[in-house]
Amino acid sequence: MIILKIGGSALTIKDADKPTIDEVNLDRIAQEVSAYNEDMVIVHGAGSYGHIYAKKFGIGDVIGNVNDHLYKLEGLCRTQASVQLLNYIVVEKLHEKGVPAIGIKPSSFIVTDNKRIAVCDTKIIKQYIDNGFVPVLYGDAVLDYNDYIKFAIISGDQLITYLAKELKADRVILSSDVDGIYTDNPKINPEAKLIDIVTKDTKLTLTENEDQADVTGGMGGKIKELLQLAEEGIESQIINAETPGNIKLAVSGQEVKGTIIK
Ligand code: ADP
């Protein structure tokens, strides 16, 4: 079984001031995904559909007074609705390309404790896979057991590492808008070099794009999740979703340029 993450930076215009789909990328990526030839779960990032609201309402920040609580309630509603809309758009595009995609809303069955998944029953996902469907989950805004924050954002990256362990994935592929992990942010530093293999001992500089409002830690957050997964014995690979053909090669089991995290 393969878990494919489609990065929010490839699917949406991440630095837009309102939720914006990258229509050209979505169409091509969905077409490429349809070349899959084994069981698959897709997790997509929230991109501008999630980060704009999560940041505005401070989801995951400590709740102050009663008014702040009310404000964050509105924030949870708006963030959930926005990422659910993105999921609907992605799932519909996958249907158009012949993929039996089933959108599954993470916040309807996941609760976090201090921003880490605490409750998550994966049986239903397994059942869909066993019936030949392709479940499609996404980064979402959820309830949190910690009374100081009450709500949290789970990144698509946290979800894939959790699902990879629970569902015993054979391959974990993350696609983003860069070729993999570089020695520094390639969008800022032209001297940055692509790293073939990253382990917990690799020295990295992780400078985030200032205009990229990622509340889940960007590439740094991703690497942290993937190194934890590697500790459990599951390797993953980061590839570029913006290079035509990459996702098609990846989902059909062929080699793709990128960074392996092990
Ligand atoms: P996604 O939304 O696709 O999951 P993120 O936006 O969270 O991806 O992370 C990808 C971004 O991380 C890249 O667009 C790049 O600007 C930034 N980045 C920062 N440091 C690095 C690095 N060392 N190597 C690669 N990308 C980096």
Map residue 116 onto helix, strand or coil.
strand
pLDDT recorded at residue 38:
96
Contact of 110 with 152, CB cutoff 8 Å: no
The type of residue at 257 is K
**Residue 205 Cα: closest atom of ligand 1:** 23
Q: What is the DSSP letter of 137?
A: E
CA 131–ligand 1 middle distance (angstroms): 35
CA 187–ligand 1 middle distance (angstroms): 8
CA 13–ligand 1 middle distance (angstroms): 14
Map residue 201 onto helix, strand or coil.
coil
pLDDT recorded at residue 214:
63
Ranges in the chain, pLDDT < 50: none
Question: What sign for the dihedral angle of Cα 15, 135, 169, 244?
Answer: negative
75 lines ligand 1 (CB under 6 A): no
Residue nearest to atom 26 of ligand 1 (CA): 185
CA 186–ligand 1 middle distance (angstroms): 8
Q: Which helix (H) or strand (E) holds 176?
A: strand 171-176
CB atoms within 10 A of CB 139: 31
Question: In angstroms, what is the C-alpha Rg of the chain?
Answer: 17
Interior angle at CA 125, CA 122 and CA 128, nearest 5: 150
Q: 59 CB contacts (<8 Å, ≥6 apart)?
A: 53, 72, 75, 76, 79, 141, 151, 152, 153, 215
pLDDT recorded at residue 14:
84
CB atoms within 10 A of CB 192: 17
Domains with residue ranges and CATH for the chain: 2-261 (3.40.1160.10)
Q: Which of 5, 55, 176 to mutate to test the pocket of ligand 1 (most atoms within 8 A of CB)?
A: 176
48 lines ligand 1 (CB under 6 A): no
Q: Which of 159, 177, 227 to mutate to test the pocket of ligand 1 (most atoms within 8 A of CB)?
A: 177
Q: Which helix (H) or strand (E) holds 40?
A: strand 40-44
CB atoms within 10 A of CB 140: 24
**Residue 221 Cα: closest atom of ligand 1:** 7
Q: pLDDT tens, 75-105?
A: 999 999 999 999 999 999 999 999 999 999 9
**Residue 7 Cα: closest atom of ligand 1:** 3
pLDDT recorded at residue 205:
73
Contact of 80 with 141, CB cutoff 8 Å: yes
Q: Which helix (H) or strand (E) holds 172?
A: strand 171-176
Q: pLDDT tens, 203-229?
A: 877 766 555 556 666 788 889 889 999
Minimal CA–CA distance to 37: which of 256, 181, 248, 258?
A: 248
**Residue 176 Cα: closest atom of ligand 1:** 3
**Residue 182 Cα: closest atom of ligand 1:** 24
Contact of 1 with 41, CB cutoff 8 Å: yes
Q: How many CA atoms lie within 13 A of 94 on its CB side?
A: 25
Tokens of 241: 């979703």
